[in-house]
């Protein structure tokens, strides 16, 4: 019985990791589609107007909650985007995956 519980926990952890990997990949695709005109999606130096996603990920003030709220509300100078909750979750997962301590 104990091995069964351990096996279930291992499978749940693996499924969660695979789900996160998928969210990160979908977030990168969304970033390349909607964000790369202004933001540097991968890393390096961005334009003066928009920070690189790696810089956002490295900034401790840019928590997941802050990023979600920022993406959910239209604001200048960003163009208005009609992001779904799933789009936002995926973009945040991708940005957070770029954090240097990952």
Q: pLDDT tens digits for 41-58? A: 766 555 667 888 888 899
Burial code (b: 16+ CB inside 10 Å, e: under 16) for 19-28 equals eeeebbebbb
Distances (CA, A) of 36 to 14, 15, 85: 31, 30, 20
pTM listed for this prediction: 0.75
What are the structural domains of the chain?
Answer: 2-97 (1.10.760)
Distance CA 50, CA 53 (A): 9
Distance, in Å, from the CA atom of 51 to the CA atom of 31, rounded to the nearest integer, reads 13
Token pair belonging to 22: 């998928």
Report the distance separating Cα 95 and Cα 14, nearest Å. 21
In the chain, which stretches have pLDDT less than 50? 4-15
Residue 62 has, within 13 A of its CA and on its CB side, a CA count of 19
């Amino acid at each position: 019985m104990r091995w069964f519980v351990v096996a279930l926990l291992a499978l749940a952890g693996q499924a969660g990791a695979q789900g996160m990997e998928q969210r990160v990949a979908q977030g990168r695709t969304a970033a390349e589609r909607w964000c790369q005109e202004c933001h540097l999606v991968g890393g390096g130096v961005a334009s003066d107007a928009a920070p690189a996603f790696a810089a956002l990920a490295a900034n401790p003030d840019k928590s997941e909650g802050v990023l979600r709220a920022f993406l959910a509300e239209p604001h200048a100078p960003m163009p208005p985007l009609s992001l779904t909750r799933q789009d936002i979750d995926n973009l945040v997962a991708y940005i957070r995956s770029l954090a240097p301590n990952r």
